[in-house]
Chain A
Amino acid sequence: DAGVIQSPRHEVTEMGQEVTLRCKPISGHDYLFWYRQTMMRGLELLIYFNNNVPIDDSGMPEDRFSAKMPNASFSTLKIQPSEPRDSAVYFCASSFSLNTIYFGEGSWLTVV
């Protein structure tokens, strides 16, 4: 299997711009997760979906962040407007029936 695929791998954007991160989970997986990793806060769960339905978005930092999963093979995480403190590595991950989580390689976001 191809694994969890994320794009873009690296993005540098200016403050105030909209950022869209994309994720293709492993085929057949029913859970999809978005995590954020920073030096200060470590690994944080932002939101997760089960069968394309958002289950827990309590980790989403504020209204500037939104996530969608229109179908079983695609999800987006959007930040609008972006701020420098959003600079981080954003990981998408998927799993089958709450077992092992498989991570993508991450999207490295820098907001200047």
Chain B
Amino acid sequence: GDSVTQMEGPVTLSEEAFLTINCTYTATGYPSLFWYVQYPGEGLQLLLKATKADDKGSNKGFEATYRKETTSFHLEKGSVQVSDSAVYFCALSLSTSGTYKYIFGTGTRLKVLA
């Protein structure tokens, strides 16, 4: 079935380090892909998205490219800050034959140390 798989956390990095959080998906159709971020005590908020193959989503220094050939949507940032500490969720949305799915991964906790 349709699914999203994220790398297990927590991920602990020093400030200014390079970040990669892996996300792969399985889908029967052509999904849109999303990264959401959840800061402590808050709801999830959209970080970036891509709606078709080879699209690159970007926001606040984060980037992710929709790779259809590898069914991946890895999140990257060149230099993380302490304020990036949060839980990151990869997600897909898919609508086929009138059936709607919006599937979230399990989340990856990122901790950035000063």
B61-69, B78-86, B99-107 - interface stretch: B99-107
Instruction: Please state if A98 and B100 are interface contacts (CB–CB under 8 Å).
Output: yes
Secondary structure class of chain B's binding surface, majority of residues = strand
Instruction: Please state if B102 and A101 are interface contacts (CB–CB under 8 Å).
Output: yes
How many interface residues does chain A have, given as a range?
20 to 34
- Give the residue name and chain of the B residue nearest to A104 (CB): B43
A45, B2: Cα distance in complex, Å: 15
- Residue interface bits A32-47, CB-to-B below 8 A is 1, else 0: 0100000000110100
Residues of A within 8 A of B14 (CB): none
- Give the residue name and chain of the B residue nearest to A55 (CB): B100
Residues of A within 8 A of B102 (CB): 33, 45, 98, 101
Contact of B46 among A31, A50, A100 (CB under 8 A): A100
State the Cβ distance, A4 to closest chain B Cβ, in Å: 8
- Residue interface bits A19-61, CB-to-B below 8 A is 1, else 0: 0000000000001010000000011010010100001100000
Secondary structure class of chain A's binding surface, majority of residues = strand
Is residue B95 contacting chain A, with contact meaning CB distance below 8 A?
yes
State the Cβ distance, B67 to closest chain A Cβ, in Å: 21
Known: A98-B100, A101-B102. A43 touches B45 (CB 8 A): no
A45, B44: Cα distance in complex, Å: 14
Residues of B within 8 A of A102 (CB): 45-46
Residues of A within 8 A of B42 (CB): 105-106
Contact of A43 among B46, B89, B95 (CB under 8 A): B89
